[in-house]
Structure 1
Amino acid sequence: MIISPPLLPTVGAATTPDPLMDAVDAFALKHGIYPVAFDRRWHCGQHLDSGDQHSTVHAIADGEVVAYRVCQSAVSDGTGQSNSNAGFVLLKHSTETGENRSLTYYSLYMHLLDIDGMNALGIHPPAENSDHRKPYDLASWLLHDTGGAVSGGNKHVHRKDAIGYVGKCHGVQQLHFEIFMTQPDFEAYFKQTQLGRTNVTTPAGTDYWGHSYYVIPAGRTFLSMPPGTGADQKLHGIKFAPGQGGRNALTLHVEVHFHRGDKYTNVWSVAADGSRTLLTSQSDREINYEYDLYKRASSLYPSCPSDGYELLRFGRILSANPTLASTAQSGVNPRATWLLVTFAAGQKGYIDVSNEAVQKLSDADFPFFTGWQKVSDANTPFDSDGLCDVSKLRELIQSAKATETPAEKQTPDVDIYRENEELSRYVNDPSNQGISAKVLALT
């Protein structure tokens, strides 16, 4: 399933890997962020505003309309002024991420502009029977006051369909947007992953996407070259860069990904207390590795290049009926997959990652060492008053450094605004943008 942002800005020539999302990131408002709002309360979504009074809100993916509300006019926030919009749309999305891996989630769009507000801004959607509708025009069911929240009634939308315009809350223009799952849907999907497990194992399933990860136990042997490599540094016609022999004193976490045909490898050593040290100051890069995968697979695994391709790409065979034998024959492992890995500072050598002792995962498994974790009652950063404790949040996301500014350190703890201001600054700090990725769910 392809997902788009709820606001679709116009972007020029690409200057970054994802210019659209970079533009949408700039729409984020500091007073409503995930997972904690500026006042230290739990906040399930994100407040967005493009600054354009005619900003259209779009469905992020194909989905079923669960409920919605269209208002004729704005409502009061209790101050006597009609300065808030109560319109919303709630969508349900279903997709699959792999074999027998169904994923159901919801998207919510709140503070959608009322009909009077649209008219005041000169936004005049065409009549529902018009033959001149544009792709981003509102559907007919969004053109009439519903008098309150109503059921979706089997209505469906497509990705990028217009479902309203950005309205206001407390007089501030904003869209409250969030994505969430129900508890049963969450458990049904994530129980098949490694989420929350510190003792990770190679999954039995075939769901595999994103970056690849290898967990190499301590005390493994690394070779300077794969066995059978000739004096020309080639094995079956494939050249291997020379490495160094040795053993790893600590467990290693290895990350492998591909970008524009090149292969990039990062390695961390893991101390007894779980702390990680990056051994690769710059990613080890193998140029054109991905482009040459078929050639490498055909040469190194001539009896079944397709199995070999998966070994080179994933470290294991995902196909249901592999051809390559899983046990050594005549002292040779037909599935040997030699990966060049930095095993100590300034030292790297080859190890066979197809070995069962090496655990093989991907982003589909949500491994803990990439930052994913489930936030529940046992480890929530919220106190009995429902307010977030900044120090607990830092501990939760394993912040690498204390981020209090000198002024914050000098401010007395009794200052009622101190933690609010500190939290807003901390969560909005670009260096801490892993917060959303690391706090997966509060249940």
Structure 2
Amino acid sequence: MNKGLIVRMRYERGQCQLTTYFLGGELIGTQQEETDFEYNLYTTATRRYPGCPSAGYELLRFGRVLGPDALQPANAAHWRKISLPPRTEAGETERNAWFNLNAPGVTRFSDADFPHWMGWRLINDDTNEDSHCQSDYIRSLLEPPSYLSDPPPRQPDAATIATSAEYDSMYEGDRRRLSEQYMDERKLNTTRLEDAENQSKLKRLICKFPTEWAKNDFEVRYKWLKRVADHGPMSEDDFLKLEKHHQALAFWEEAGLG
């Protein structure tokens, strides 16, 4: 059972919309303020919060006070009309009520917090360090669903095979064919990423991924190129040239960003 609600406050072209969701992100309903509410915000703040209209303006606009001016009184209410879940047992199809969005226990977020009810999701199920996406979640979004109710484990791609212990026992011909497999896989993945439906699935994913701007782990992230690459493994000379180019651009350690 949901024990709370989410209210999204959005301003656009003079209007303010307040949309209510269940905690799981399911839509309940939307309420709109009067016409030109956004354009009249300071006038409204002056009327509702005469002790400090600037803080009142921020409360109305952002749902919280961001600047140095203090709200007067500090616990001033922020009343808004919001949609509530209808009581089906009472035969309701919709319901709304006035609610204090500045009440104790109300937590405020901004879009910068990447709220889950807007579709944002943290992806951190890829544990390797070779700069290839091995996330089961992302691959399940991009790859067509199997007709099997219990599909077999996903087959490793060429780069994964090239960095595994299996590579050492492979015949030379099978090793050469890995580069062909790599190019086919890249072409297929590119096609999938260009698909509008797949782009929509991926647009709000936050992916944990090794930075490409670090110097110290270049060998770890790209050594597979010596075994599988376009038209065959990369030569040692070409790999060293690539590493030198990368070292000239990398800055992560110097930046000290963690």
TM-score relative to the length of structure 1? 0.33
2:118 is the counterpart of 1:370: yes
The question of whether the paired residues in 2 share the 8 Å contact of 1:375 and 1:442 is answered with no
**Alpha-carbon deviation of 1:404?**
3.2
- Partner of 2:224 in structure 1? none
2:196 is the counterpart of 1:425: no
**Alpha-carbon deviation of 1:432?**
4.1
2:78 is the counterpart of 1:337: yes
**Alpha-carbon deviation of 1:430?**
3.5
- Partner of 1:228 in structure 2? none
Deviates more, 1:367-376 or 1:296-305: 367-376
Count of matched residue positions in the alignment of Structure 1 and Structure 2: 172
- Residue identity opposite 1:362 in structure 2: S
**Alpha-carbon deviation of 1:309?**
0.9
**Alpha-carbon deviation of 1:381?**
8.0
- Partner of 2:13 in structure 1? 260
The question of whether the paired residues in 2 share the 8 Å contact of 1:279 and 1:344 is answered with yes
Percentage of matched positions with identical amino acids: 23
- Partner of 1:284 in structure 2? 31
User: Distance between the aligned counterparts of 2:127 and 2:97, measured in 1?
Assistant: 42
SS state at 2:44 partner: helix
**Alpha-carbon deviation of 1:344?**
0.7
Aligned ranges for residues 298-309 of structure 1 at < 5 Å? 298-309=46-57
Show CA shifts across 1:85-105 (max 9, x none).
xxxxxxxxxxxxxxxxxxxxx
User: Distance between the aligned counterparts of 2:201 and 2:127, measured in 1?
Assistant: 16
The question of whether the paired residues in 1 share the 8 Å contact of 2:45 and 2:57 is answered with yes
Closer, same or farther: CA 266–394 of 1 in aligned 2, 3 Å? farther
Show CA shifts across 1:177-231 (max 9, x none).
xxxxxxxxxxxxxxxxxxxxxxxxxxxxxxxxxxxxxxxxx9xxxxxxxxxxxxx
Gaps of 5+ in 1: 1-217, 219-248, 328-334
**Would you tell me which structure has more helix in proportion to its own residues?**
2
User: Distance between the aligned counterparts of 1:385 and 1:323, measured in 2?
Assistant: 49
**Would you tell me which structure has more strand in proportion to its own residues?**
1
Show CA shifts across 1:69-100 (max 9, x none).
xxxxxxxxxxxxxxxxxxxxxxxxxxxxxxxx
Gaps of 5+ in 2: 87-93, 156-180, 211-258
User: Distance between the aligned counterparts of 1:326 and 1:268, measured in 2?
Assistant: 28
Aligned ranges for residues 47-62 of structure 1 at < 5 Å? none
Aligned ranges for residues 19-418 of structure 1 at < 5 Å? 250-270=3-23, 275-280=24-29, 283-286=30-33, 287-327=35-75, 335-345=76-86, 346-376=94-124, 379-380=125-126, 386=132, 388=134, 391-393=136-138, 404=144, 409=147
The question of whether the paired residues in 1 share the 8 Å contact of 2:123 and 2:205 is answered with no
Show CA shifts across 1:1-39 (max 9, x none).
xxxxxxxxxxxxxxxxxxxxxxxxxxxxxxxxxxxxxxx
SS state at 1:433 partner: helix
**Alpha-carbon deviation of 1:315?**
1.8
User: Distance between the aligned counterparts of 1:394 and 1:267, measured in 2?
Assistant: 32
User: Distance between the aligned counterparts of 2:9 and 2:118, measured in 1?
Assistant: 12
Kindly report the root-mean-square deviation, in angstroms, between the aligned alpha carbons of the 2 structures. Answer: 3.9
